Amino acid sequence: MITEDEWLLIHDLKEILFYFAEATNYLGGSKYCTYSSINPTIAVIMMNVLPSTSSVINFNLDEAGDAFDEALEIDENQSESQEKININVPVNTYGLFDLIKKNLYIALIHYFNPTSPEALLAALLDPRFKKLKFATQEQKKDAEDELHERYNTIKLVQLNPLPSASPQQRKKRSLFDAFTKQTVAENEVIEYLELEEIPFEKDPYAWWNERKEKFPIISQLARKILGIRAASTPSERLFSDAGNLLTTKRSIIKPELFDRVIFLKRNSHNFINIHPPADI
């Protein structure tokens, strides 16, 4: 029977593991921006699993055992492959919660580096996280320097374009262009960094699309970086859909038709204006 101390431990673990479950579900999405959320999400999780002791210093993840090792009752005569948990013996829960938090915290540090300039760049280009509140001042400066460097590189290429084989078509001018066209920022990075963050619920893609004329260079950079998916989950869903469509009983479908059906399957939510649902 589960003891009262074990129930309390389960309750505490549930609160900690909730953050991992929520992050997994959110970062596996495909209909919204996820890549820029990785580092803020990891930073928040690390803040919540930060152990109450200073025992994480000089901690070696490779030498760390399972957080529940101390709770295992192993018969000395059993081989390692026959190890079993004696459910009739209560788990010694003293300090176990901190031990689990410590292992989770060190694992996050080991597998992720959420504060490198390259990793922070995606969050910096997301107007929801652009202030990098989860990073130190030095880390923020390094990320901003990275953005300045990439901005200057793209700007230099645009100022010295390669000769084109075919002439580009000029956009038709209009008398009313002066009323609709946004003024291009003199220094896009500086002006962008001075802007306030937008609410988390807002769409960063739409935000950049509305300001692509004011920030032509960094909006282009944001489109490339923010379009990356945080996880392979969307791709795995696509492979699953493909497997359901192409079966042994439906194996002679033409590649062109196969591509179109998969495209419609994954993009049908964008066609609501073409075929709106019937009014009830």
Last residue of a domain, one of 56, 81, 114: 114
What's the pLDDT band for 245 if we cut at 50, 70, 90? Answer: confident
Q: pLDDT digit string (tens) for 157-167?
A: 887 766 655 55
pLDDT score for 23: 94
Q: How far apart, in Å, do the first and last CA atoms of the chain sit?
A: 54
Q: pLDDT digit string (tens) for 215-239?
A: 999 999 999 999 988 888 888 887 7
Same domain, 28 and 13: yes
Same domain, 20 and 97: yes
Separation CA 43–CA 123 (nearest Å): 12
Residue 195, domain extent: 118-159+181-226
Same domain, 155 and 214: yes
**Which token pair is 226?**
């923010």
8 A C-beta contact, residue 69 and residue 23 = no
Say if 87 falls within a structural domain.
yes
Same domain, 9 and 37: yes
- 90, pLDDT greater than 90: no
- 109, pLDDT greater than 80: yes
CA 214, 217, 218, 219: dihedral to nearest 10 degrees?
A: 60
Say if 280 falls within a structural domain.
no
Count of structural domains, the chain = 3
Say if 277 falls within a structural domain.
no
Q: Which amino acid is at 137?
A: Q
Same domain, 106 and 125: no
pLDDT score for 256: 87
Q: Residues 263-273: what's their mean pLDDT?
A: 72
